[in-house]
């Protein structure tokens, strides 16, 4: 029995395979449904699939990546892969889609283009409070995935649970 500790390079091939599979599915136009949280984490109740496919490939990857983080704990300043704050979750999800975001909800709220609440598409970033203090990712059907606050986990909720400020389309 070997006592050599596991390193991150052991996990890297699995992530590459997972990313390649995700790219293949998205590239083939297959609609993605929420993925379960990774094994060994507390999972929230399954959310309904987004009402409509995300507007483009990057948005689809970001939504799928964010949904796969459900059940992982909130930690201020965390950007994954085991813990998240709100802007860290958005940053992590869009990084998987090849788009770099800053780790600040206020900074993220200046990116992309504004979207009215009636024109939301899965993958749009939703910002809350005045001034902006929180961000989530719209997944469709009036739902968002987000990292709420201390003592909670990444989960899916209705967008109306927080005071809406603005929305931005990043991809």
User: What are the pLDDT digits (tens) for 58-102?
Assistant: 999 999 999 999 999 999 999 999 999 999 999 999 999 999 999
Given this model, what pLDDT does residue 55 score? Answer: 60
As a whole number, mean pLDDT of residues 161-168 equals: 97
Task: Write out the residue range of the structural domain in which residue 75 sits.
Answer: 9-38+45-169
Chain length of the chain: 171
- 116 closest CA partner among 58, 42, 168: 168
- Tally of domains in the chain: 1
> pLDDT tens digits for 103-159?
999 999 999 999 999 999 999 999 999 999 999 999 999 999 999 999 999 999 999
What's the pLDDT band for 14 if we cut at 50, 70, 90?
A: very low
φ/ψ of residue 18, rounded to 5: -60, -45
Q: Which of 38-42, 50-54, 77-81 has the lowest mean pLDDT?
A: 38-42
Instruction: Decide if pLDDT at 7 tops 70.
Output: no
pTM > 0.75: yes or no: no
The more confident residue out of 135 and 17 is 135
In a domain, 2, yes or no: no
For residue 1, being part of any structural domain is answered with no
Q: Is residue 3 part of a domain?
A: no
Does residue 126 sit within a domain? yes
More reliable by pLDDT, 15 or 137 = 137
Domain-embedded: residue 102: yes
CATH number at residue 120: 3.90.1720.10
Residue 11: what pLDDT? 38
Q: Is residue 60 part of a domain?
A: yes
**Nearest of 97, 98, 168, 158 to residue 135 by alpha carbon:** 168
Residue 4 placed within a domain: no
Task: Label residue 171 by pLDDT band (50, 70, 90).
Answer: confident
Q: Is residue 130 part of a domain?
A: yes
């Amino acid at each position: 029995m070997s006592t050599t500790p596991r390193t991150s390079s052991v996990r890297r091939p699995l992530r590459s395979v997972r990313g390649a599979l995700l790219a293949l599915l998205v590239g083939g136009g297959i609609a993605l449904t929420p993925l379960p949280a990774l094994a060994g984490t507390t999972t929230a109740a399954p959310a309904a699939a987004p009402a409509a496919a995300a507007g483009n490939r990057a948005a689809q990857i970001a939504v799928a990546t964010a949904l796969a983080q459900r059940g992982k704990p909130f930690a201020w300043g965390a950007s994954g892969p085991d813990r998240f704050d709100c802007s860290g979750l958005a940053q992590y999800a869009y990084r998987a889609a090849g788009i770099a975001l800053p780790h600040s909800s206020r900074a993220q709220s200046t990116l992309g283009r504004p979207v009215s609440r009636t024109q939301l598409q899965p993958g749009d970033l939703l910002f809350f409070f005045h001034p902006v203090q929180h961000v989530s990712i719209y997944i469709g059907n009036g739902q968002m995935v987000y990292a709420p606050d201390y003592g909670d986990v990444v989960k899916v909720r209705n967008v109306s649970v927080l005071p809406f400020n603005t929305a931005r389309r990043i991809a």
